[in-house]
Chains A and B, each alone.
Chain A
Amino acid sequence: GAGVSQSPSNKVTEKGKDVELRCDPISGHTALYWYRQRLGQGLEFLIYFQGNSAPDKSGLPSDRFSAERTGESVSTLTIQRTQQEDSAVYLCASSLQRGGLSGANVLTFGAGSRLTVL
C-alpha cells in the first residue's frame, strides 16, 4: 500500500483480556518496527524485524508482549492478560532497511493503534 496501515485504530478492552494489533507495512520495506507511546510521552522501542533475520525483541517490557511477522509483510503485536499500564498508542513503522544512516532509510509510521485497558 501507499503507507503503513494499522488496525484497529482504537481498542478498548478489559483488564486481563488478550489483544492483537496489526501492522501492514509499505510494500518492499524490509524492516518493521513497533513502538509504544504513553500519553504525553516519547516513543519507546518494542521490537523490530528485518527480513528473515531473528527479530530484536530487546524492547519488549514483559513476556506478555510478543510479535510476529510473516516474511516482509504483515506483523501482529499481541499483548496477553492486558494491564492498565499497557494503555498507550502502539505505533508501527517500516523502512527500506534496518540500521542504515542514510536519509533514505527513514522510518515511515502508521497512524497508530490506541489501546485503552479498563
Chain B
Amino acid sequence: AQKITQTQPGMFVQEKEAVTLDCTYDTSDQSYGLFWYKQPSSGEMIFLIYQGSYDEQNATEGRYSLNFQKARKSANLVISASQLGDSAMYFCAMREAGGSQGNLIFGKGTKLSVKP
C-alpha cells in the first residue's frame, strides 16, 4: 500500500484565488512528521511547511497552511492568494519515527498551474 497518496495529478487555479492540494497518508506509527515540498521547473526541491503528528495547531507559513486531520490521515496543503510563481509540482512527504530508513517517503506529486 502506498504510504503517501496524492490523488490530483494536475490542478488549475486562477491567480489570487486559494487552492487545496490533497494528501493522505498511511502509517501505524503514533509519531511522524508531514512535509510539503515545491518543485518548480528548475528542478530544485523547496521545503514549504512541516506538521508534526503531535502538533495541535495546523502549521502555517506565510501563504501556506496545512489542513491536518489526524483521524482521517490527511494533510492537505492550502495556498492562499495564488501567484503565477506558484506554478510547480508539489510533493507531500512523511517521515515515521519508527521507520527503518528515517528518510522521507514522497507522494507522486500534484502539478499546479496558476492561470493569469
Contact = CB atoms under 8 A, between A and B. Distances in A.
Interface of A: 33, 35, 41-43, 45, 48, 50, 56, 58-59, 89, 91, 93, 98-99, 101-103, 106-112, 114
B52 A103 contact: yes
Interface of B: 31-33, 35, 37, 42-47, 50, 52-53, 91, 95, 97, 99-109
A101 B91 contact: no
Given A43-B91, A101-B32, A103-B50, A110 B102 contact: no
A101 B97 contact: yes
Contacts, number: 69
B102 A48 contact: yes
A41 B44 contact: no
A5 to B, nearest CB: 11
Given A101-B95, A101-B97, A107 B104 contact: yes
Nearest to B111: A40
A98 B107 CA distance: 20
A106 B35 contact: yes
